[in-house]
Structure 1
Amino acid sequence: MGPTQQHLTTPILSVLETTLVAPSPSAGAALPESSLPLTFFDILWLTSPPVERRRVFFYRLTADADVATILSNLQASLSQALHAYYPLAGRLRLKPGTADRYELHYRPGDGVTFTVAEYSNDGADFDELATDEPKKVAKIAPLAPTLPEGGALLALQATVLRGGLAIGVAVHHAACDGASSTRFLHAWSAAGTGAANGPPPPITDRAVVNDPNGRLYDFFVKAMPTADQMERVKLSDDQLFATFTLSKEDIQRVKEVVAAEAARRGAAPPRCSSLVATFGFIWSCYQRAKDDAGSNNGDRPTYLCFPVDHRSRMKPPVPNEYLGNCVGAALHAAPEDQLAEAGAGGIFVACTAVAAAIQEAVGGVRSPETIESWTERFKEAAVAGAGMLTVAGSPRFRVYEVDLGFGRPAKVDIVSVARTGAMAVADDRSSGGGMEVGISLRAAGMQRFQKCFEDAIPFLHH
């Protein structure tokens, strides 16, 4: 990673066109009106303002690329993909005649907003925006649309850059989780490339999600925060976003360091998967980069919270193709002073806590009482101790395979982490078995994180 970049001029975003793309018809006829009730997993994300996942895919284009044809093909393939994923073209609403029953409602004529925009002036060079180096969030955030008012579930934006194209995606989390939304993107990719072996169609039947005691929906409806309770994060002018890559070899060395430290302490080693190793390594670096790092905070707890897909763990199991939410929260604390230790100590403590979070989350998914505890544990962690780091994305989503008809993306950013404070996780674009992690911090914090990361990597291999 190089020095923090702050010298770029502010590019200007101009909206050229906004189109409503409807699902392609079935046998020449429009899809019928339909409604899907929200499950207890969906209700967890029903807040105001909505919880949005906002990604930007950067695609490099050749100098002679026919941009007009590319944009036209994008809308045509989007319509094809929406045929199977038609609920995403609908709206979130309160079911008529009820006080607290919410649903995804689709009717003929509904569609997804597709915006075509253009970044102009010298600050919009493709290579400067599609970079791992620190860049101002204010430059990349406009590339991802916000959801239109009225309960929209999906919005898309194609922004023409000098040297490339940025495809921005915004999804309402109450409609589906990350696994579902990226399956939709792969379906769009298959339509755009004409692939014969696209992903199987989604399963929309909400009956496949079993409410273990029949009361979880009502429990989470009552636990929903009000609009006044929702924190609205205001981004500072120096908020940055950067990407850090852990190679397959780096991850393996984290596992070995953790095992060696466990032996030195005479402790049982945690189950250190590649995901545990990545989360633990980044969490320890992140803790050392905090504004109050180095202060005498003692053993004050700090938390890591990340999603766990429960499809295979539900009883009965939920199909992988299910379109909706089926994720729970894995949450665990670690003492701040131990987590912030340089060297093997901080990494060991972090990985031990991450492994414990997974074990607890996996073991408790079939217990209604454990599921009910998610909201209270999350609230306690959010207000107690030294704060909480959350996670967005997953290497399993294969975002670098989303070819929309003009090649694979050169870079993928989850820009919504700038407001949520999460780390963004993705597969390594080089297909080398590593992982990419996006971090958003203010300038001073980013410099400290870079220093921690750059010092820690050589330590792993010494």
Structure 2
Amino acid sequence: MAMASFSVRVLDQCQISPPRSTDSRHPLDLTFFDIMWMCNGAVSRLFFYDHPHPIADFTASVLPPLKSSLSATLHHFYPLAGRFRRSAEDNTKFQLRYSDGDFVPFTVTECTDGDFTDVSGYHDRSPSKLQPLVSHLHVGFSDADPLLAVQVTVFPNKGFVVGVKISHVACDGRSFMHFVRSWAATCRGEPSVEPLPSFDRTIVSIPETLSVASPDDVKEYYDSIPDAPKPATPSEPIVMRSFKFGKRDIEKLKQRVPFRSSSFMVACACAWVSLLKARGAYYTGGEKRTKLIFPADSRERLNPPKSPAYFGNCIRPCFTDAVEGDLLGEDGLVVACEAIGRAIKELEGGVFNGWEKWRENFASAEKPMAVAGSPKFGAYGVDFGWGRPVKVDLAGLVECLGVISLSENRDEEGGVELGISLVESEMNVFSSSVSDAVNRGC
């Protein structure tokens, strides 16, 4: 199996700004949710599109509308064109502030020796194959760092890739996809079905300790977490693979759970059990517990609720655990769903229920499984005017072993796609376990 990367050459580098009519707008104060995720760096998504035309056609017909529509979309999503800046009124607080002259870096590259079909596939791929498709620009926390960077890569006569990289301090996955879907609708020249983003930062009922937190406080908070032991460098190649669960597959998994369960629950449960098997966990009669961490959208759970179009971060971490032996037993899928259900049930106690234990839960999680993305984001609905993507990858997590990314199934409503990176031998076990789970149950 070929694992080599490929080369790209830069065709163009430019700066995309909102229309002049945007001017400088009201800065966005950072909420606790924004500050909490600022330690997670940037999130990158890659959207792969078929385009079997020469590069001259791509340059003439694809690039101009991509650029002009990005500028138009930034008029409504203006914070993404801004920077992470200290407040002019309070030097201890930070904001997302757009000022006249700010811009989004836009890079165009050409792949000179890569295989579009290979890099956009569902089979085992080296994570290094995706790195040339992601902007190398640092998206971070200074006036010089953008909050958003775009790289478009063309594979002549094959296709192109739109790579979008956004700082997590600016927004979560739901807002990320809201922006991209709005950009796509503008590009294809159709009235957007997406609502305009809401930047309402009115006070919500949160613990006073959290409401006064600043980015400096959060840095101190995370610096105080004991360093987890660094995993040894894998001796085998790391591979990433995507798995498709059809609607029928999801229904078969649900039928094995004797209580109501969602597609999210059974997909995560199946992956959790399969990951334990892939890592070589075996039931020894002990009570060792293993953790699962997943995000929960809090927009509708706040008091008062936020609009679904609220732009920014509005997710909280959920933690659950179970005994390894129980997960690896005959009813492992049921045990995993029960554990996930408990964590979801705890949200009824409020968004900030148990917040004082979040740090401890992060620090004590030894090789947990973590979840990113959601089948509800509509990633495969991002049509810029040349058809739906043939593949979407969450590139920022491809080298995070044990993190699964979720999206809807491209080809079947009601299905789910799951992506994960593992060392090669573990991937073989994980794949076999997923197949067994669908066919016979975990």
Q: TM-score, normalised by structure 1?
A: 0.87
Matched, 1:191 2:186: yes
Q: How does 1:64-143 map to 2 (within 5 A)?
A: 66-69=57-60, 70-96=62-88, 98=90, 100-121=92-113, 124-143=114-133
Structure 2 Cα separation of the partners of residues 219 and 73 of structure 1: 42
Matched, 1:327 2:319: no
1:420 partner SS? coil
CA drift at 1:8: 4.7
**Paired position in structure 1 for 2:439:** 458
Within the candidate set 387, 407, 410, 2:390 is matched to 410
Structure 2 Cα separation of the partners of residues 349 and 127 of structure 1: 39
Deviations 1:369-418 (A, max 9, x none): x233323322232x4xxx21111111111000001121110000112222
Deviates more, 1:57-66 or 1:388-397: 57-66
Instruction: Identify if the C-alpha distance between structure 1 residues 230 and 158 changes in structure 2 by more than 3 Å, giving closer, same or farther.
Output: farther
Within the candidate set 338, 352, 356, 2:326 is matched to 338
Amino acid at match of 2:81: A
Structure 2 Cα separation of the partners of residues 297 and 146 of structure 1: 48
**Paired position in structure 2 for 1:374:** 358
Contact 2:87 2:95 survives alignment (8 Å): yes
CA drift at 1:314: 0.7
Contact 2:83 2:146 survives alignment (8 Å): yes
Q: How does 1:53-64 map to 2 (within 5 A)?
A: 53-63=43-53
Instruction: Identify if the C-alpha distance between structure 1 residues 15 and 211 changes in structure 2 by more than 3 Å, giving closer, same or farther.
Output: farther
Within the candidate set 263, 267, 272, 1:278 is matched to 267
2:321 partner SS? strand
Deviates more, 1:280-289 or 1:214-223: 214-223
Instruction: Identify if the C-alpha distance between structure 1 residues 141 and 338 changes in structure 2 by more than 3 Å, giving closer, same or farther.
Output: farther
Matched, 1:175 2:175: no
Amino acid at match of 1:377: N
Contact 1:147 1:153 survives alignment (8 Å): no
CA drift at 1:438: 0.3
Within the candidate set 372, 375, 379, 1:392 is matched to 372
CA drift at 1:88: 0.5
Within the candidate set 330, 338, 346, 1:360 is matched to 346
Q: How does 1:155-166 map to 2 (within 5 A)?
A: 155-162=149-156, 163-166=158-161
Within the candidate set 29, 33, 41, 1:37 is matched to 29
Q: How does 1:229-268 map to 2 (within 5 A)?
A: 238-259=237-258
Amino acid at match of 1:15: V
Structure 2 Cα separation of the partners of residues 188 and 391 of structure 1: 26
Structure 2 Cα separation of the partners of residues 216 and 298 of structure 1: 38
Matched, 1:153 2:143: no
Deviations 1:297-334 (A, max 9, x none): 83211111111111111111101111111111111001
Matched, 1:443 2:424: yes
CA drift at 1:155: 0.9
**Paired position in structure 1 for 2:304:** 316
| Identity percentage of aligned residues | 33
RMSD over equivalenced CA pairs, Å: 2.4
Contact 1:89 1:111 survives alignment (8 Å): yes
Structure 1 Cα separation of the partners of residues 4 and 137 of structure 2: 27
Amino acid at match of 2:251: Q
CA drift at 1:349: 1.1
Contact 1:34 1:107 survives alignment (8 Å): no
**Paired position in structure 2 for 1:210:** 204
CA drift at 1:99: 5.2
Contact 2:4 2:129 survives alignment (8 Å): no
1:454 partner SS? helix
CA drift at 1:220: 7.1
Deviations 1:269-290 (A, max 9, x none): 4x41121111111111111111
Instruction: Identify if the C-alpha distance between structure 1 residues 197 and 418 changes in structure 2 by more than 3 Å, giving closer, same or farther.
Output: closer
Contact 1:239 1:442 survives alignment (8 Å): yes
Amino acid at match of 2:428: Q
CA drift at 1:94: 2.8
Contact 1:186 1:198 survives alignment (8 Å): no
Structure 2 Cα separation of the partners of residues 175 and 406 of structure 1: 28
Amino acid at match of 1:126: F
Matched, 1:14 2:9: yes
1:316 partner SS? coil
Amino acid at match of 2:256: V
Amino acid at match of 1:104: L
Contact 1:116 1:158 survives alignment (8 Å): yes
**Paired position in structure 1 for 2:278:** 289
Amino acid at match of 1:158: V
Q: TM-score, normalised by structure 2?
A: 0.90
